[in-house]
Structure 1
Amino acid sequence: MLACLLATTLAATFVHAHLAPWHKGMYGLNGVTGSINYNTDDVVHPLYQLPQDQWWFHGYNGVPNFPPADGDFLELPAGKSFMVEIASNRGETTLSFDGDYTTDWPDGQNYPDDYNVDTCITSPNMHTQNETRAAGTAFAISYTSDIKQVTPANLIVFTVRYHTPWKRVTYYDVPADMPACPAGGCICGWGWVPNGCGQPNMYHLPYRCKVTGATSTKAVGTPKPPVWCENNPDGCTKGPKQMIYWNQNEGNNIQVDGLDAAGEPKSPAYNAKCGFPDGAQNDIFTGASSGSSSGSGSSDSSGSSGSTTNTKATSSSSSSSSNTNIDVDTGAKKVAVSGSSSSSAAAAAASASGSAKHVCKTRKARRAEAAERERRSEAFSMHRKRSARGF
């Protein structure tokens, strides 16, 4: 066990790792080796000057070949918000080590809320000087269940979060009119184009997703490439937009030159400079029926809309039969009894009872768990020391 853990922790060798939104519905969650790596950072590396088949969905290291587990989706509650954990390493999220190495920040460290570096913040590597200058990030959706069928022409940006990436826990808003996905779900993509402050690269990652609580049958339109339109809203692309593809050897859909209004080199991003409003993108629909099946499920989950500095939140399943929540800060499972049916309440009560019994462990079991926590801490500390030395 210890040897395996050491092998995974020592695999992360980048001094200033970049960032990605972690969720059980993502491709590459376990890494790209075929085995489970709880300390993987395979998805966070930037994309720059690559052919399209290598930058598309992080294809250069095979991320699209490692789908999430069956039944795992990034759930998008129509008219509400969903949460992801933006971090430089899976080990610094609640998806590994019971969340023991998480903080409010993406790299498991602590910084002041007004964190500012005049040149560039590199720990964590957010490509910005402070929160107000963070470029913005976005999620897009394609109404197909086959990742191989997704193209720039059918991947539509549906939500944007200004001033991100910043804190680990990040919420994105879903348009209320989002139609349901096909029975096998949809494919989503996450994008980030930093606003200078380092190499002018980009990030593009795939997720298996589904819209929950859908009541609308409006179809999403065909997206068009965004354009630079700073201080000229009439010149922005109207309606559904493609993601930003920039500074690659092929497949770019936007070109800029010259300086922006602040006197800095223009850098396209998911913000007003390219016509993206903050939050849900409510202009992506045509009004025609989507024809999608509404069997993708319903949702009563909700989140704090737009909160990127929320340090304590609960991620809940959208299914009415679900009774397990995950505390974002600790990763601990909490049982919540649903009032939807007596059978689900009984199941939840039984689960809670089992959890209570589990607390009453033998002294030997408690000693074994304490030893395991100590081994984890030593292994993770060794990883951080090696990273700091640049190995």
Structure 2
Amino acid sequence: MFARHLLAFVALLQAGTTLAHLAAWHDGMYCRNGTSGADEANEYTTVKPLYQLPKKDWWLHGLDGCTRFPPAPGKFLELPAGKEFTVEIASNRGKTSLSFNGRFASNWPDGNNYPEDYNVPSCITSPNLHAQNYSQAAGTAFAISYQSDIERVTPENLVVFSVKYHTPWKRITTYSVPAALPACPEGGCHCAWAWIPNGCGQPNMYQQAFRCRVTGATSTAPVAPGKPPVWCEDNPSACTKGAKQMMYWNQQEGNNIWVQGLDKSGSPKSPAYNSKCGFSEGAQNDIFATGSGKERRCAAKTKRGSAGRRT
């Protein structure tokens, strides 16, 4: 069995970079083993880019039926409130620790090795980072929906809670979790990982689903419904405030952000999970409903302080 998977992996390497797009890998992901029903060590279904598709095909990678292939029972992407979690960004499951005991994994998403100051002025294509260098990596994001049934997850209840600037870049990638993120329902939550490349090829997007749950939660502050982000590089005051949806663009239907013209660098505008579209780096601590979370805690502190003052 191992020999068969190994031969398949070698064949995939010889196929070149046509399949070398990227996904976030974890045991809590949908389509971890592909869609054949077998445990595919070289799985790469979720790395496919999403471009000019009807919503049923791009939403949570529906074109491959990924929502019908959940993680194994008991497997969740665990989100420790106020701390961090880690995933592996790679072009193939075989290039992560989830296959072959990590034999073909490296510090980079495609299993190869590159200099720390890796730079290709015409765009890095191996791995397929859609960037010229680290500074140009567009940013990736995780979102959460407090729905245990994946069929009930919508763009409005799937809210971005963590952003990592200058990714995808290395294989091991860590994301921060808001301290006030509340616990999930008994059946868990659903999460999604996404990114939109900053040029360097087809202007597509990536999105995939995870079964997830929050650990160590101490707050009951509800996450507010997400609003569509907007391009606001030229006017930060116009950025969408509070809970934001993931960004959906260049599809046949269901887009929630539109851009045209050039950005400040003189390049064609491309939505990204960074300040250009109002996303701060790290945990998104402004996603809670008004009067909850931080506001509620601040109010409690003010009340206690007032009670202790003499008049």
TM-score calculated relative to the size of structure 1 = 0.72
Q: What are the Cα deviations for residues 295-327 of structure 1, in whole angstroms up to 9, with x where unaligned?
A: xxxxxxxxxxxxxxxxxxxxxxxxxxxxxxxxx
The aligned length equals: 290
Q: What are the Cα deviations for residues 55-97 of structure 1, in whole angstroms up to 9, with x where unaligned?
A: 0011101111110000000000000000000000000000110
1:256 aligns with 2:244: no
1:53-132 matches, cutoff 5 A: 53-132=56-135
- Between the aligned residues of both structures, percent identity stands at 65
Secondary structure in 1 aligned to 2:222?
strand
| Pairwise CA distance, 1:11 | 7.0
1:210 aligns with 2:205: no
1:40 aligns with 2:40: no
- In structure 2, relative to structure 1, the CA distance for the partners of 1:101 and 1:25 (3 Å cut) is same
Aligned residue in 2 for 1:27: 30
Secondary structure in 2 aligned to 1:126?
coil
d(CA) in 1 for partners of 2:191 and 2:44? 20
Supply the AA of the counterpart residue of 1:200: P
Aligned residue in 1 for 2:298: none
Asked whether the 8 Å contact 1:57–1:63 carries over to 2, the reply is: yes
| Pairwise CA distance, 1:286 | 1.2
Secondary structure in 2 aligned to 1:49?
coil
Asked whether the 8 Å contact 2:17–2:125 carries over to 1, the reply is: no
Supply the AA of the counterpart residue of 1:130: N
Aligned residue in 2 for 1:4: 4
Unaligned runs of 5+ in 1: 291-391
Aligned residue in 2 for 1:18: 21
Supply the AA of the counterpart residue of 1:100: R
d(CA) in 1 for partners of 2:71 and 2:170? 24
Q: Which has the larger radius of gyration?
A: 1
Aligned residue in 2 for 1:163: 166
d(CA) in 1 for partners of 2:106 and 2:3? 26
Asked whether the 8 Å contact 1:140–1:158 carries over to 2, the reply is: yes
1:182 aligns with 2:167: no
Unaligned runs of 5+ in 2: 294-311
d(CA) in 2 for partners of 1:144 and 1:25? 15
d(CA) in 1 for partners of 2:179 and 2:234? 28
Aligned residue in 2 for 1:280: 283
Asked whether the 8 Å contact 1:219–1:287 carries over to 2, the reply is: no
d(CA) in 2 for partners of 1:11 and 1:49? 30
- In structure 2, relative to structure 1, the CA distance for the partners of 1:51 and 1:159 (3 Å cut) is same
Aligned residue in 2 for 1:152: 155
Aligned residue in 1 for 2:303: none
Secondary structure in 2 aligned to 1:118?
strand
d(CA) in 1 for partners of 2:234 and 2:6? 52
Aligned residue in 2 for 1:197: 200
Q: What are the Cα deviations for residues 90-116 of structure 1, in whole angstroms up to 9, with x where unaligned?
A: 000001101111111001100001000
Secondary structure in 2 aligned to 1:286?
coil
Supply the AA of the counterpart residue of 1:224: K
d(CA) in 2 for partners of 1:93 and 1:9? 12
Supply the AA of the counterpart residue of 1:246: W
Q: Please, which of 228, 233, 236 is the counterpart of residue 233 of structure 1?
A: 236
Supply the AA of the counterpart residue of 1:5: H
| Pairwise CA distance, 1:15 | 2.3
Secondary structure in 1 aligned to 2:141?
strand
Aligned residue in 1 for 2:273: 270
Secondary structure in 2 aligned to 1:76?
strand
d(CA) in 1 for partners of 2:11 and 2:69? 18
Secondary structure in 2 aligned to 1:141?
strand
1:373-384 matches, cutoff 5 A: none
Asked whether the 8 Å contact 1:228–1:275 carries over to 2, the reply is: yes
Secondary structure in 2 aligned to 1:119?
strand
Asked whether the 8 Å contact 1:68–1:208 carries over to 2, the reply is: yes
d(CA) in 2 for partners of 1:172 and 1:284? 16
Supply the AA of the counterpart residue of 1:119: S
Q: What are the Cα deviations for residues 33-53 of structure 1, in whole angstroms up to 9, with x where unaligned?
A: 111101111110100000000
Secondary structure in 2 aligned to 1:285?
coil
d(CA) in 2 for partners of 1:180 and 1:7? 43
| Pairwise CA distance, 1:4 | 3.4
Asked whether the 8 Å contact 1:218–1:287 carries over to 2, the reply is: no
Aligned residue in 2 for 1:340: none
Supply the AA of the counterpart residue of 1:181: C
- In structure 2, relative to structure 1, the CA distance for the partners of 1:104 and 1:7 (3 Å cut) is closer
Q: Please, which of 139, 142, 149 is the counterpart of residue 139 of structure 1?
A: 142
